[in-house]
Amino acid sequence: MHIYKTTAENGTASYEIQKSRFIAYTSHVETEAEARDFVAAIKKKHFDARHNCSAWVLGADSSQQKSNDDGEPGGTAGNPILEAIKQHGLTNVVVVVTRYFGGIKLGAGGLIRAYSHTASLGLEATPCLEVKPFCLMEAEMDYSLLGTVENWIRNEELRTGETAYLDKVTVRLLVEPADCEAISTELTNLTAAQCKITIHKPEYMSLPI
């Protein structure tokens, strides 16, 4: 399973050069259909703009990538937006940059710089998350061991889930897959093997950056 970064919510930023106004919009998306819907929504919002150029990257491995120049000279808009996404190390994100033409041509180089810069401004204004796999580790034990285990959890600064209080207490830990064996061994030694440990398959969790 891959560790990746993505956007936490929508963001926007604007940039003006030579009387042309550029507006970036970002959104977290999981599928190509969601990305297309977002692009369509921005085009509808800015129906009077000369161009609504876009790019998106999808998949935990960033394998799905697409860009659209929307009428700008080939390679001067969509690809710079795509490169901005990649430079920020993000996936499952779509960026649309709307341009209101100011009457002064920027040239190919100027367009590339403007679209890249505007996309970067939009991404920098967007809160992001790191998404990584964690295993749920459940440790069932007698209540007499709880204080010792909780103190150990605090000292080790481990991530925890909700503790279940039944006939016995079940402590839930969120552990990175590579650390499961070591944490399980420590917990077994700490409780003199008086706890029942269950490790579940890894699942993705999002963490604020």
On average, the pLDDT of the chain sits at 96
Q: What is the chain's Cα-based Rg?
A: 24
Q: Which are the contacts of 160, defined by CB distance < 8 A and separation ≥ 6?
A: 153, 171, 172, 173, 174
The pLDDT > 70 percentage for the chain reads 100
Residue 2 has pLDDT above 90, yes or no: no
Q: Closest by alpha carbon to 60, among 4, 11, 10?
A: 4
Joined together, the tokens standing for residue 129 give 């998350």
Q: And the tokens for 205? A: 């969790």
The residue behind tokens 């650390």 is: 179
**Which CATH number fits the domain that encloses residue 188?**
3.30.70.240
What domain range is 117 assigned to? 4-126
Residues 178, 99 share a domain: no
What the block records as the tokens of 29 is 């998306």
pLDDT tens by residue, 123-148: 999 999 999 999 999 999 999 999 99
| pLDDT per position as a tens digit, 149-206 | 999 999 999 999 999 999 999 999 999 999 999 999 999 999 999 999 999 999 999 9
Q: Which of 68, 103, 126 is the last residue of a domain?
A: 126
End position of a domain, from candidates 100, 126, 152? 126
Q: Give start and end residues of each alpha helix (H) in the chain.
A: 32-45, 78-87, 107-124, 146-156, 180-190
Asked whether residue 76 falls in the same domain as residue 142, the answer is no
- Cβ 72 vs Cβ 53: under 8 Å: yes
Q: Based on the domain organization, do 99 and 185 belong to the same domain? A: no
Q: 69 and 11 in one domain? A: yes
> What φ, ψ does residue 24 adopt, rounded to 5°?
-100, 140
Domain boundary (126, 144, 173) is at 126
Note whether 84 and 14 are same-domain residues. Answer: yes
Question: Are 10 and 101 found together in one domain?
Answer: yes
Asked if 118 and 13 touch (Cβ cutoff 8 Å), the reply is yes
What's the sign of the alpha-carbon dihedral 79, 83, 89, 95? Answer: negative
Number of domains in the chain: 2
Are 148 and 199 in the same domain?
yes
Contact 87, 5 (CB under 8 A): no
**What is the pTM (predicted TM-score) of this model?**
0.84
Residue 208 has pLDDT above 90, yes or no: no
Kindly report the backbone phi and psi dihedral angles of residue 79, in degrees, each rounded to the nearest multiple of 5, phi listed first: -65, -40
Same domain? For 49 and 9 the reply is yes
Torsion on CA atoms 103, 107, 48, 88, rounded to nearest 10: -140
